[in-house]
Amino acid sequence: METDVAGPVVWTVGEWLQHWLDTRTRLRPRTRVGYGEHIDRYLKPSLGAVLLEELTPAQVQEAFDAISRRTTPVGGRLSPATVQRIRATLRAALNTAVRERLLPSNPARGLRLEPGVGTRPVVWTDQAVAEWTHSRMRPAVAVWTVEQTRAFLDFVSDHRLYALFHLLVMTGLRRGEVVGLRWEDLDLARGTVRIARQLQTGRGGLVELAPKSAASRRMLTLDHARVGVLRRHQWRQQHEAAERGHDWTSQGYVFTALRGGPLAPERLSRLFRKLNDESALPPVRLHDLRHGAATLALAAGVELKVVQVMLGHASIVLTADTYASVLPEVAQEAAERTAWLVLRDAGRTGRHTRRRGRGGRRGLVLVPPGPHPGPTGRTTPSGSGQTRL
């Protein structure tokens, strides 16, 4: 940053991006970290030396064409969604420059990029597991089947944080929400849990924040099984506190580190990866348990609106588009029901309907050969279509 004879500040793009980030005082910690990574890893190397007032749309397009070809640390190309997020960071910073009259217009406004496509969760069916075993390339987002989910809960049943994983699997809480729970948020007598805060890692350590959005501030109802799990966890935590005595730091959190302090979200993610590896189950991320909870609820016949509230989504469209993966058993039942409907109607038509063709010739409507279910047969579709853990 330089000052010419007349006094105005002359910024390079890199200096402006850093100044913009440093002066955003109301950013959430994770958002700040994301912006910082975009700026340091992609935008400064590509555009940092260019004078802000001389930045052109052509330079921005050339830079993003190069960014789109860059590879990740594991060797793959950056996803279109990631490139879109980097563009969003640049546009936000340049919009501020426009408002402060440092630029006449935003050079990143007309940027042409490959559209980002939302990633849908892949269910770990036998076929998906076989492909992963052969290639070792796991899907970006993956969810366990009912049996795999049950196997993981059985595997961690003796772990001190079993109740945490049980709650994540069944409710789809975000990791910041689950580690931010305090005992005052739980009413085990009534079977409710209030989502009122989340923990995130900031520059100075862990910070307590309000939920992500107004929809994220919500009340969940717990079934008897979850209430029982949480009561046992409370009893276990009280014994841990008694055993550690003065070494126990009680801050009222439901799920804690070994000495009673808050549990960092990143530490929880590392613990889950370790347990996932030890369980020999196909790999999923901690956040994938949120996808899995939605998938299991929808498979159990829970209405989409209820799942939306459970997850804390502001829009039901997001719930439907992102989380509605289909479990194999649900897909099988849907196929059976569809076949039953089609064959039932075909059978009824074949037995009771004749139609005339040209010239008055009578002909039978074709019916699939062999026995088939229908209103006069014994085979009927199952009644509920629910999948239970």
pLDDT digits (tens, 9 = 90+) for 22-48: 999 888 888 888 899 999 999 999 999
Residue 386's pLDDT band (boundaries 50, 70, 90)?
very low
Per cent of the chain over pLDDT 70 is: 79
Is residue 377 one of the residues assigned to a domain?
no
Same domain, 229 and 182: yes
Could you report the per-residue pLDDT of 140-149, keeping only the tens digit for each?
888 999 999 9
More confident site: 157 or 315: 157
- Final residue in a domain of this structure, among 293, 310, 326: 326
Same domain, 284 and 315: yes
H-state helical runs in the chain:
13-22, 29-38, 44-47, 57-68, 80-99, 126-135, 146-155, 162-171, 175-179, 224-244, 265-279, 288-299, 304-311, 316-323, 328-352
Could you report the per-residue pLDDT of 65-105, keeping only the tens digit for each?
999 888 766 556 777 888 889 999 999 999 999 999 999 99
Spatial separation of the C-alpha atoms in residues 222 and 220, rounded to whole Å: 7
Count of domains observed in the chain = 2
Same domain, 35 and 132: no
Is residue 211 one of the residues assigned to a domain?
yes
Mean pLDDT of the chain: 82
Min mean pLDDT across 49-53, 273-277, 340-344 is at: 340-344
Domain of 188, CATH number, reads 1.10.443.10
- Final residue in a domain of this structure, among 294, 326, 358: 326
- Final residue in a domain of this structure, among 310, 326, 342: 326
Is residue 354 one of the residues assigned to a domain?
no
Same domain, 51 and 127: no
Could you report the per-residue pLDDT of 222-267, keeping only the tens digit for each?
999 999 999 999 999 999 999 999 899 889 999 999 999 999 999 9
Whether 329 has a pLDDT exceeding 90, the answer reads no
* Amino acid, res. 304: L
Residue 384, burial from CB neighbour count under 10 angstroms (0-12, 13-18, 19+): exposed
pLDDT at 154: 96
Same domain, 6 and 139: no
Beta carbons within 8 Å of 339's beta carbon, 6+ residues apart: none
Same domain, 61 and 154: no
Tell me which H or E stretch contains 219.
strand 218-221
Could you report the per-residue pLDDT of 166-207, keeping only the tens digit for each?
999 999 999 999 999 999 999 999 999 999 999 988 777 888
Spatial separation of the C-alpha atoms in residues 73 and 69, rounded to whole Å: 13
State the residue range of the domain holding 203: 122-326
Residue 361's pLDDT band (boundaries 50, 70, 90)?
very low
Is residue 154 one of the residues assigned to a domain?
yes
Domain of 89, CATH number, reads 1.10.150.130
Same domain, 271 and 197: yes
Dihedral angle sign, alpha carbons of residues 301, 163, 276, 199: positive
The first and second tokens of residue 350, run together, are 């074949």
> Is residue 3 classed as helix, strand or coil in its secondary structure?
strand
Spatial separation of the C-alpha atoms in residues 71 and 83, rounded to whole Å: 12
Nearest to 106 by CA among 120, 91, 85, 118: 91
Same domain, 137 and 93: no
pLDDT at 376: 41
Same domain, 314 and 248: yes
Is residue 49 one of the residues assigned to a domain?
yes
Is residue 263 one of the residues assigned to a domain?
yes
Q: Where do we find the tokens 């099988």?
A: 332
Per cent of the chain over pLDDT 90 is: 51
How many CB atoms lie under 10 A from the CB of residue 307? Answer: 23
Is residue 13 one of the residues assigned to a domain?
yes
